[in-house]
Structure 1
Amino acid sequence: MKKSAEIKGLPIISIGDGSEIGKVKSLVVNPEKGSIDFLTIEHEVSVKAIPFKKVVGIGEFAVTVETESAVIDLNEIPIANQLVNKKIRINETRVMTRKGQLIGEITEYYVDEENGLILGMDLRSNQGDAYLEAKHVLTFGKDIIVVQEDAMNHYKKSATEAREDVMVEEVKEESAPSQLENIRKEQDSLLIGKKVTKDIYDPTGSVIIHKDTVLEEVHVEVARLAGPSVFVELSMNVE
């Protein structure tokens, strides 16, 4: 389960040739299915996207696809273009019951990274924060999300408490932090001792690791703290 904010801005990496083909610009909602069907890509010329079914994985630092051929031009796929033009957003959208009672506004939503289904949403209301499962949604609209009349009976007062029930994978990571630490150590071991083949810049344009630097643990940590795209850039430019 991933927050939408954790997906936006991630570099998109082609596994086939190990190159970055863009960054995630937005998540395209299919209101009928209650799912994310496409990820749009930041592109200078035209609007491009990747069908969610073509996504291999969504990790901490990148979205991966098999090859660059996974990228499509929206003008060539009518259904994709239609969904983008519907401009369905979830964050900052008001939530109303079937009988017209306004119950709050969505501040974040969660996606199943395996199939793109929207699993639930964080709700802000006058009575506090809550987590609402997507199965209680009747309509994902452009201006309003309509939910079942008894939806308020099915969410918890605390979004954090709700996530402990529905975000099983995150709970496992929290209860076993050593597992995440082992993954990071393995990533570091693949980089430490390698030589950087080009200057590595942070998001502000400053060089943080110079060309020909032999990487030490501190260099890898600096790149990690600079953000996912910087870490991926470093990973792709060592020998």
Structure 2
Amino acid sequence: MKLKNQIVGLPVLSITEVTTLGKIENLLINPNSGSVDYLIIEPKQWYMERRLISFKDVVSIGQDALTTETGSNLTNVTSVPAAIDLLNKSVEVVGSKVITQKGRISGSIDEISIDEETGKIVACSWIPGNNKKKPGLFPASLVITFGKGMLVVEEDFEAAVVENIEETESETNKADSAEDMDEALSGNKDPLNLFEEKQKQYLIGRTVTANILSDDGEIIAEQDQKITKEILDKAVEADKFVELTLNNRE
């Protein structure tokens, strides 16, 4: 997984031409699928038209650069109607207010985590609207609607928020969580990996809402089946963990 701020600003490199094509200026999010469809490339000169690259043409998103097979994968924004439509919808997610399905405003989003293979938004970093609750990450599967300046989420989304240190844990577990967070902040442990570990704990016992299959057709989990650690391990091994997080309920 990659944070938005780990992607924006990266140079785009062509593998074939071995040249830099520009830098990522922003992400174009499809509110219907909750995924990044395109990446906008800043122009080399201020008066030039912006170009974009489809997420499906991204080979890899590394620490220092984003790669694509060839420079011909970059296209002028105005030549792609679907991209213009997304620009008009102007769904940023980061900076959006959070509102529950019953109309309760609850804080805002200050970052998103993206699956670098599919472009799917996996998690949202939530800032509560008061000091009574702690900020944290919650699964994007709890988002009902990605809107312009606002996210509509399930009413009980806060129960799935992975906090830095959970107040409801025992003293021993609190110490473990504090140690985990210290490691994450010091760079010894990736905060996204920490979220993934917590997300696995959250998923155990929930119900699968669609059949999850491996790429070769093997059944990982069946609809209406309860999620177990064994299912989670299979999903991770088959690279279907994100799909599992997007298809479950209580």
TM-score (norm 2): 0.64
CA RMSD of aligned residues (A): 1.7
Higher RCO structure, 1 or 2 (CA under 8 Å, sep 6+):
1
In the alignment, which residue of structure 2 is the partner of 1:99?
A: 102
In the alignment, which residue of structure 2 is the partner of 1:23?
A: 23
Letter in 1 for 2:14: S
CA distance in 2, matches of 1:163, 1:76: 36
Residue ranges of structure 1 left out of the alignment (5+ in a row): 169-239
Measured after TM superposition, the shift of residue 165 of structure 1 is 4.6
Q: How many residues align?
A: 168
Question: C-alpha deviations, 1:140-167, integer Å up to 9, x for none?
Answer: 1002100011111112222859744544
CA distance in 2, matches of 1:143, 1:5: 18
In the alignment, which residue of structure 2 is the partner of 1:114?
A: 117
Instruction: Check whether the contact 2:162–2:195 (CA below 8 A) recurs between aligned residues.
Output: no
Question: C-alpha deviations, 1:123-151, integer Å up to 9, x for none?
Answer: 01121212110000001100210001111
In the alignment, which residue of structure 2 is the partner of 1:154?
A: 160
Letter in 2 for 1:122: S
Matches within 5 A, 1:1-239: 1-43=1-43, 44=45, 45-125=48-128, 126=130, 127-158=133-164, 163-167=192-196
**Identical-residue share of aligned pairs (%):** 35
Residue ranges of structure 2 left out of the alignment (5+ in a row): 166-180, 185-190, 198-250
Measured after TM superposition, the shift of residue 50 of structure 1 is 0.1
Question: C-alpha deviations, 1:174-196, integer Å up to 9, x for none?
Answer: xxxxxxxxxxxxxxxxxxxxxxx
Letter in 2 for 1:2: K
CA distance in 1, matches of 2:152, 2:29: 15
CA distance in 1, matches of 2:163, 2:9: 30
Instruction: Check whether the contact 1:131–1:158 (CA below 8 A) recurs between aligned residues.
Output: no
In the alignment, which residue of structure 2 is the partner of 1:208?
A: none
CA distance in 2, matches of 1:26, 1:164: 24
Quickly say closer, same or farther: Cα 1:14–1:33, change in 2 above 3 A.
same
Instruction: Check whether the contact 1:48–1:74 (CA below 8 A) recurs between aligned residues.
Output: yes
Work out which of the two has the higher radius of gyration on C-alpha atoms and give 1 or 2: 1
Residue aligned with 2:136, SS: strand
Instruction: Check whether the contact 2:125–2:136 (CA below 8 A) recurs between aligned residues.
Output: yes
Question: C-alpha deviations, 1:6-36, integer Å up to 9, x for none?
Answer: 0001000000011001000001110000000
Residue aligned with 2:64, SS: coil
In the alignment, which residue of structure 1 is the partner of 2:242?
A: none
Letter in 1 for 2:115: D
Question: C-alpha deviations, 1:58-108, integer Å up to 9, x for none?
Answer: 000000000001101121110111112211111111101000111111111
